[in-house]
């Protein structure tokens, strides 16, 4: 377990994060996925009581991976953002295969994410996740790609700036594992972060449309 420090937040990395069997199962699924868009997303959600809200891959695998990741992730959340720990309501387990020439712009994540996590799956070599001191992209710090390396941070409004993309040679497959809260808790999230709830909600609502139409966020 290694901590990296940006200006106002911590990043935690853990190598060999997933059970090896789960890693191989996910990589086999990824190999069969056709790359139809820039970001091929397979989204799954699991309640804190371990019931599935939504699944796009095998439900048994979703539950096993959630069981593999959840307690480890909760421990990380309690360390790096303890004031958000009790707000956890569901986990978000998403397989993302990024087309080899595609990248996602610098962003800070949505406010419902208490803990943002990404686990590098395949191939053996690609680009990692980059963090910055501002939205302009200053002071880049890339957490290098290594198969089965996990990268975690607790999202903060206009502070946890980061981006990702593939290397132009191979498609990039990751497992995103987030600890989320329900929308009814968002006002409390902004209070914890000492940020404007109204301005934050405006960004939260408009950014998906801006990214879809113009490939940028505010």
HEC sequence for 19-69: CHHHHHHHHHHHHHCCCCCCEEEEEEEEECCCCEEECCCCHHHHHHHHHHH
Q: Is the pLDDT at 36 greater than 90, yes or no?
A: no
How deeply is 194 buried, as exposed, middle or buried, from its count of CB atoms within 10 A (0-12, 13-18, 19+)? Answer: exposed
Q: Is residue 166 part of a domain?
A: yes
Q: Is the pLDDT at 27 greater than 90, yes or no?
A: yes
Confidence (pLDDT) at 4: 67
Q: Is residue 208 part of a domain?
A: no
The upper half-sphere exposure of residue 66, i.e. CA atoms within 13 Å in the direction of its Cβ, equals: 27
CA 61 to chain centre: 19
Site of tokens 């087309």: 99
In which band, very low, low, confident or very high, does the pLDDT at 8 lie, cut at 50, 70 and 90? confident
Q: Is the pLDDT at 40 greater than 90, yes or no?
A: yes
Q: Is residue 218 part of a domain?
A: no
Confidence (pLDDT) at 174: 98
Helix H or strand E segment including 186? helix 186-193
Task: Calculate what percentage of the chain has a pLDDT beyond 90.
Answer: 89
Site of tokens 């996590």: 117
126-136 mean pLDDT: 96
What residues does 161 pair with on adjacent strands?
none
Q: Is the pLDDT at 190 greater than 70, yes or no?
A: yes
4-13 mean pLDDT: 81
Q: Is the pLDDT at 172 greater than 80, yes or no?
A: yes
Opening angle at CA 4, ends 47 and 147, nearest 5: 65
Sheet of strand 103-107: strand arrangement: 103-107, 162-165, 129-131, 141-143
Confidence (pLDDT) at 18: 97
| CA–CA dist 29, 57 (Å, integer) | 9
Q: Is residue 213 part of a domain?
A: no
Closest CA to 178 of 61, 88, 103, 96: 88
Q: Is residue 199 part of a domain?
A: no
Confidence (pLDDT) at 5: 67
Mean pLDDT of the chain: 94
The DSSP letter of residue 82 is: G
Q: Is residue 171 part of a domain?
A: yes
What token pair was written down for 21? 């069997």
Count how many domains the chain has: 1
Q: Is residue 210 part of a domain?
A: no
Tens digit of pLDDT for each residue in 62-117?
999 999 999 999 999 999 999 999 999 999 999 999 999 999 999 999 999 999 99
Where in the sequence is the domain holding 170, given as residue range(s)? Answer: 2-184
Neighbours of 206 (CB within 10 A): 12
Per-residue buried b or exposed e for 74-98, using 16+ beta carbons within 10 Å of the residue's own CB: bebbeebbeebbebbbbbbbbbbbb
Q: Is residue 178 part of a domain?
A: yes
Q: What is the CATH number of the domain that holds 155?
A: 2.60.120.620
Confidence (pLDDT) at 2: 66
Q: Is the pLDDT at 120 greater than 90, yes or no?
A: yes
């Amino acid at each position: 377990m290694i901590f990296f420090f940006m200006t106002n937040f911590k990043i935690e990395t853990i190598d060999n994060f997933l059970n090896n069997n789960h890693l191989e199962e996910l990589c086999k699924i990824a190999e069969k996925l056709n790359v139809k868009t820039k970001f091929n997303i397979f989204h799954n959600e699991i309640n804190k009581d371990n019931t599935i809200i939504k699944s796009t891959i095998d439900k048994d695998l979703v539950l096993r991976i959630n069981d593999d990741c959840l307690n480890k992730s909760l421990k990380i959340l309690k360390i790096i953002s303890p004031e958000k720990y009790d707000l956890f309501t569901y986990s978000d387990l998403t397989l993302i295969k990024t087309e080899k020439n595609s990248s996602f712009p610098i962003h800070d994540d949505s406010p419902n994410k208490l803990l943002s996590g990404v686990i590098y799956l395949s191939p053996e070599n690609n680009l990692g996740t980059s963090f910055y001191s501002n939205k302009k992209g200053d002071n880049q710090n890339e957490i290098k790609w290594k198969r089965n390396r996990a990268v975690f941070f607790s999202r903060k409004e206009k502070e946890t700036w980061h981006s990702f993309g593939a290397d132009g040679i191979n498609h990039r497959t990751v497992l995103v594992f987030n600890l989320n809260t329900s929308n009814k808790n968002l006002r409390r999230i902004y209070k914890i972060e000492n940020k404007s709830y109204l301005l934050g909600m405006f960004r939260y609502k408009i950014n998906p449309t801006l990214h879809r139409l113009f490939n940028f966020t505010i």
